[in-house]
Structure 1
C-alpha cells in the first residue's frame, strides 16, 4: 500500500466543527473524495486534492527552500485519531493564504535547483530509490495543480485539513 498526501478544503465553520468532532471531519473527507472521483473538478475548484506519493519529495524540497508554511504535514493538530499514517493536521485560512501566495511565486525549477538525488536517498525520502537527476522531475506534474488548489482555497477564505493516507 502506498502513502499519499491528502488535502481537504474546509470553511472556517467546518474547521470549527472538525476541531470539536474529528469523526465528522473524517466522514466529510470521505464523502468529498467519493463525490470528486465522479466529477473531477479543476484543482482551483476542488475540495479534495492528493499529491499521491510525491508528498515526501515535495516536503523535502519545500523545507529545503525555507517555505514559510508546512503544507505537507500541516501545522496544527486536528485530532489524535489515525487517518491512515498518523493523525490529521490543519492550516488556518491565514496560513492557507500565505502558502498560496508563496506557491504562486515559486517555481518547481527553483525547488529542484542544486538538489542532488543523493540528498534524497540520504534523507530517506519516500519512496526510494533516487538514482538519477531525472527522478527530481517526479513531482513536477503535481506542483502546478497543488498551487492552483491552494490559490482556490485561499480566494475562498478556506482552511485546510491535511493527512497522509
Structure 2
C-alpha cells in the first residue's frame, strides 16, 4: 500500500468545528474526496487534493530550500486519531496565505537545482526510486497544482487540513 499526501481546504468555521470534533472532519474529508472523484475539479477550485507518493520528495525539497511553512505535514495537530499514517495536522488561514505567497515565488526548477539523487537515497526519501537525476522530475506535475490549491485557499481565507494516507 502506498503513502499519499492529502489536503483538504476548510473554512475557518469548519476548522473550528474540526478541532472540536475530529471525527466529523474525517467524515467531511471522505465526503468531499468521494464527491470530487465524480466531478474532478481543477486543483485551484478543489477542496481536496493529493500529492500522491510525491509528498516526501516535496517535503525534502521544500525543507532544503528553507520554505517558511510545513505544507507537507502541517504545523498544528488536529487530532490524535490516525487518519492513515499518523494524525492529521493543519495550517491556519494566515499560514496558508504565507505558503501561497511563497509558492507563487518558487519554481520547481529552483527546488531541484543542485540536488543530487544520492541526497534523497541518503535521507531515505519515500519511495526509494532515486537512481538518476531524471527521477527528480517525478513531482513536477504535482507541484504547480499544489501551489494553485494554496493560492485559491488563501484567496478564500481558508485553512488546510493535511495528512498522510
Asked if these proteins are the same fold (TM beyond 0.5), I'd say: yes
Partner of 1:88: 88
Paired residue secondary structure (1:127): coil
Partner of 1:56: 56
Provide runs of 4+ in structure 1 moved above 4 Å: none
- TM-score, normalization by structure 2: 1.00
Per-residue deviation, residues 102-154 of structure 1 (Å, max 9, x unmatched): 00000000000000000000000000121100000000000000010000000
Partner of 1:101: 101
Paired residue secondary structure (1:90): strand
Per-residue deviation, residues 54-81 of structure 1 (Å, max 9, x unmatched): 0000000000000000000000000000
Number of aligned pairs? 165
- TM-score, normalization by structure 1: 1.00
Unaligned runs of 5+ in 1: none
Partner of 1:114: 114
Q: Which whole-Å CA distance do the structure 2 matches of 1:17 and 1:117 have between them?
A: 42
Note the aligned Cα RMSD (angstroms): 0.3
Unaligned runs of 5+ in 2: none
Matches within 5 A, 1:1-165: 1-165=1-165
